[in-house]
Amino acid sequence: MANEDLENGTQILDESSLHKMRDLKRKVSGKLLTLFEAISSPIPSKRATAQDEALSTYQILVKSYIPSLWTGNEISPRELAVHGWKCIGKNKAKCISCGRLLYTTVPRITEVNIDVYNKCLKRVRDHIVISHELTCIYRSAYIDFHLKLNNACAVKEIIKERLETYHIADLNLVNLEI
């Protein structure tokens, strides 16, 4: 295969050895490319399925925050839902992955100093992430989805309809032109 040049300690490769090396290099490059494709972002159809699942999970979680259990709470259902929390009681949520509980009770703003209230609120917001178990997926990531707005005109119509309900109720809102 290879002849050794004894004078300077290098190998002299013949033509068949060069072909074998090129073949090996080509195979290694192919394997590396396959590996990179496997660990890179998924193909668009899989991405779309993951987006649909994320949106579905998010919608289920947000719907769990019914008004009788969540009215008047400073922490929004959206804020909790994107981090995997499902409402299971008055000011109480449970992670859908690790099962940990989160209590979101804060004192009434009229009963305590504003600084105390803000500290309590910050503590609850911090616990939205740190109350998960260390290995829980929602501790390091959140439900990431993007709504697909295919038709801007349809979205404007929905907004107009909602604004009209405010006008019917004689609510004075800022006049918006859409």
Q: Give how far the C-alpha of residue 100 lies from the chain's centroid of Cα atoms, to the nearest Å.
A: 19
- How does DSSP assign 30-46, residue by residue? HHHHHHHHHHSPPPHHH
> Residue 6 domain-assigned?
no
> Residue 31 domain-assigned?
no
pLDDT per residue as tens digits for the range 10-58: 556 677 777 788 888 888 777 777 776 666 655 555 555 766 787 888 8
Q: What are phi and psi of 5, to 5 degrees?
A: -90, 105
> Residue 93 domain-assigned?
yes
CA distance 102 to 90: 11
pLDDT per residue as tens digits for the range 54-96: 788 888 999 999 988 887 778 889 999 999 999 999 999 999 9
Instruction: Supply the range of the domain harboring residue 98.
Output: 47-148
Q: Domain tally for the chain?
A: 1
CA distance 155 to 29: 48
> Residue 32 domain-assigned?
no
- Bridge partners for 126 per DSSP: none
pLDDT per residue as tens digits for the range 139-148: 888 777 666 6
> Residue 13 domain-assigned?
no
> Residue 8 domain-assigned?
no
> Residue 68 domain-assigned?
yes
> Residue 12 domain-assigned?
no
Q: What is the CATH number of the domain that holds 125?
A: 1.10.1170.10
- Looking at per-residue pLDDT, the higher value among 172 and 142 belongs to 142
